[in-house]
């Protein structure tokens, strides 16, 4: 079960990664750090932001969004400038890309990465459009 998270904890990940997350994504994660979301009829588990505010939260967020992104960078075909935000439990992931090439501000569009083919496609215009 996801916990709410302080925006200061999200900011720590932004500082470590150099990426700035979209406001709608941060708002959703502030209320529910992680959890499941339905996108285009498929269930995805969102990666939580690391929350070191207490031991229980630290233990529940050890598979944090930054760690998962670093692991995904090792997959063939995963975009080098992508930031992984969730998984379907079968090897595929969803991710965000910078709004413009070479920048670190992530856009709203959610993309799906297929681990078998290495192909990507946009699947939702924003996290606010997901259930």
Domain boundaries, the chain: 7-129
Nearest to 63 by CA among 27, 97, 87, 96: 87
Q: In angstroms, what is the C-alpha Rg of the chain?
A: 14
Q: Rounded CA gap, 75 and 54, in Å? A: 32
pLDDT digits (tens, 9 = 90+) for 75-115: 999 999 999 999 999 999 999 999 988 899 999 999 999 99
CATH code of 7-129, in short, is 3.40.1580.10
Taking a C-beta distance cutoff of 8 angstroms, is the pair 75, 68 a contact? Answer: no
Cβ-proximal residues to 74 (8 Å cutoff; 6+ apart), any chain: none
Q: Rounded CA gap, 128 and 131, in Å? A: 8
* pTM metric for this prediction: 0.94
């Amino acid at each position: 079960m996801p916990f709410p998270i302080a925006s200061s904890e999200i900011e720590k990940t932004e500082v470590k990664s150099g990426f700035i997350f979209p406001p709608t994504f941060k708002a959703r994660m502030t209320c529910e750090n992680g959890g499941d979301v339905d996108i285009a009829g498929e269930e995805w588990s969102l990666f939580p932001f690391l929350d070191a505010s207490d031991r229980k939260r630290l233990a529940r967020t050890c598979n944090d969004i930054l760690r998962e992104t670093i692991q995904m960078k090792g997959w063939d075909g995963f975009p080098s400038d992508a930031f992984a935000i969730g998984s379907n439990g079968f090897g595929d992931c969803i991710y965000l890309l910078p709004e413009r090439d070479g920048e670190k501000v992530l856009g709203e569009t959610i993309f799906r990465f297929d681990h078998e083919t290495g192909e990507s496609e946009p699947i939702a215009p924003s996290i606010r459009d997901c259930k």
